[in-house]
Amino acid sequence: MEIAITVQDLTKHYPNVLAVDHINFEVQKGEFFGFLGPNGAGKTTTINILTGVTKTTSGAASILGYNLAKEPVKAKEHIGVVPDTSNLYDEMTAWANIIFCAKLHGVPKEKREKRANELLELVGLYDRRNDRLGTFSRGMKKRMMIAAALVHEPEILFLDEPTTGLDVQGAREVRGLIRELNRRGTTVFLTTHYLEEADLCCQRIAIIAKGKIITQDTPEKLKLSTQVEQVIEVSFDHTKDVSDKLKRLSHVRDVVTAGDKFRLSVDDSSETLPLIFDFAKENNLKIVSINTLKPTLEDAFVKLTGLRLEVMSIEKEQMKPNRG
């Protein structure tokens, strides 16, 4: 499989801060790759390096084989960038912004207007095309940034926290749009501090904290890698406490009641499941529901990073005063 992004030993020092610390990863062409971590972890610095906004202190990065330090213009021909804050001009109309981006990326004159029309339709802003961007809401600006980033049909799309600050509906729309683009073949590099977003969208995730990549794998493998025990959750048709009896089943290590459900910590769920069905029959109980519970990406994140889950909900605005 062809490699879209290569990062080797990438390091970025700011005065008094090591923002990115010798990170390595590769993103395959067509992949939906997530860069997950709390704010201040080094996600934006990494994306800034990969898109030419910031230079590295050491290490190397390349886009479709073009080294960003040696051939930055060639590398940038293949990327579209949606930063965390608007990079478009409030003073210009939506239409003028898209056309300007098309010109900057060398889209031929005869294609510019057609492409601008298509993209404004795609992001649902065609009717507002003659309005100045300064009059747009945050969500509309975000959609405009996506449209502007796609004007030259880039092979790789970088998105830095694309749903931050959007309402639920807006975030869902943006996510849907990005997934559709990936389905059509665009390689997506997404940074996010929303665990559910990473879980929902990404084929592979790298978890970054304090400038270092802690781990990288598929969301499912990350969850399984942190699973020390399997859990079965079962509820019966009446609320009689049968936890002591359940505890006596083989392979069951512990039973905890949670509302009308019993959570069984087991060594092997496939061995235990038939025993639970037998147990229900023997005790004249009807099973209302039975599920094997897998650890969530949240569980995996907490175990792998050693960080509290609350750090993921600290938004950038809250961090700014500390960063100066």
Site for other proteins in 209-228 (CB under 8 A): none
Which of 55, 183 has the CB closer to other proteins? 55
Residue pair 229/265 in contact (Cβ under 8 Å)? The answer is: yes
User: Which token pair is 148?
Assistant: 């502007």
Question: What are residue 278's phi and psi, to 5 degrees?
Answer: -60, -45
Choosing from 73, 168, 228, 258, the residue that interacts with other proteins (CB under 8 A) is 73
Please report whether residue 77 would count as binding other proteins according to CB under 8 A.
yes
Taking CB under 8 A as the rule, does residue 101 contact other proteins? yes
The residue among 277, 230, 323, 303 whose CA lies nearest residue 14 is: 323
**Among positions 24, 58, 103, 218, the unique one binding other proteins when judged by CB under 8 A:** 103
Burial 274-288 (b: 16+ CB within 10 A, else e): ebbeebbeeeebeee
Give me the least distance between CB of 322 and other proteins, in Å please: 19
Torsion of Cα atoms, 237 then 292 then 230 then 264, to 10°: 0
195 binds other proteins (CB under 8 A): no
Binding track, positions 33-72, relative to other proteins; x by CB under 8 A = ------------------xxxxx-----------------
Backbone φ and ψ for 202, nearest 5 degrees, come out as: -85, 140
Whole-angstrom Cα distance, residue 188 to residue 79?
Answer: 10
113 binds other proteins (CB under 8 A): no
129-148 binders of other proteins (CB under 8 A): 148
Interface with other proteins in residues 143-172 (CB under 8 A): 148
> In this chain, which of 15, 106, 259, 324 binds other proteins, going by CB under 8 A?
106
For residue 93, with 0-12 CB atoms within 10 Å meaning exposed, 13-18 middle and 19 or more buried, which class applies?
middle
Q: Please pick, from the candidates 105, 112, 115, 141, the single residue that binds other proteins as defined by CB under 8 A.
A: 105
Laid out side by side, the sheet with 261-266 consists of: 252-258, 261-266, 230-236, 287-293
Query: Binding to other proteins by residue 85, rule CB under 8 A?
Result: yes
**Residues at the contact surface with other proteins, assessed by CB under 8 A:** 51-55, 73-74, 76-77, 79, 81, 83, 85-92, 96, 100-101, 103-106, 148
